[in-house]
Amino acid sequence: MADAREEPDRRLEVVSTVLLARATVATAWSGYQATRWSGEQTKAYSRANAARLESTRASNLANTQVLVDVTTFAQWVNAYPPSSCSRGTGPSSSPSAASSSRAP
């Protein structure tokens, strides 16, 4: 009778051992995958950071070019006093424009 009782206990021990072994392997595999994907995440972060820096450089260059354009236009406008523009001697007046604006 003692053998009949030990048989279910023995099966339970084997099942428990296999279950714990599977859990150990799954835990080790998860740790391996986490480490591997952490490396991939680091690489992706580096690529994203490089792209962000490049976009910042391009944005700064565009802003600088706009500033140069605005400054140049403002200096062009300020180069001629308003009184010279009213007499038709400013930058927007040309001989053909002055003659076509006068009535015959």
Instruction: Give the model confidence (pLDDT) of 32-76 as tens digits.
Output: 999 888 888 899 999 999 999 999 999 999 999 999 999 999 999
pLDDT score, position 9: 86
Sign of torsion, CA 11 13 19 21? negative
Calculate the CA 27 to chain-centre distance.
Answer: 35
Residue 81 binned pLDDT confidence (cut-offs 50, 70, 90): confident
pLDDT score, position 89: 56
pLDDT of residue 101 exceeding 90: no
- Give the separation between CA 66 and CA 57, rounded to whole angstroms: 14
Instruction: Give the model confidence (pLDDT) of 16-32 as tens digits.
Output: 999 999 999 999 999 99
- Give the separation between CA 90 and CA 81, rounded to whole angstroms: 8
pLDDT score, position 2: 53
pLDDT of residue 100 exceeding 60: no
- Give the separation between CA 19 and CA 24, rounded to whole angstroms: 9
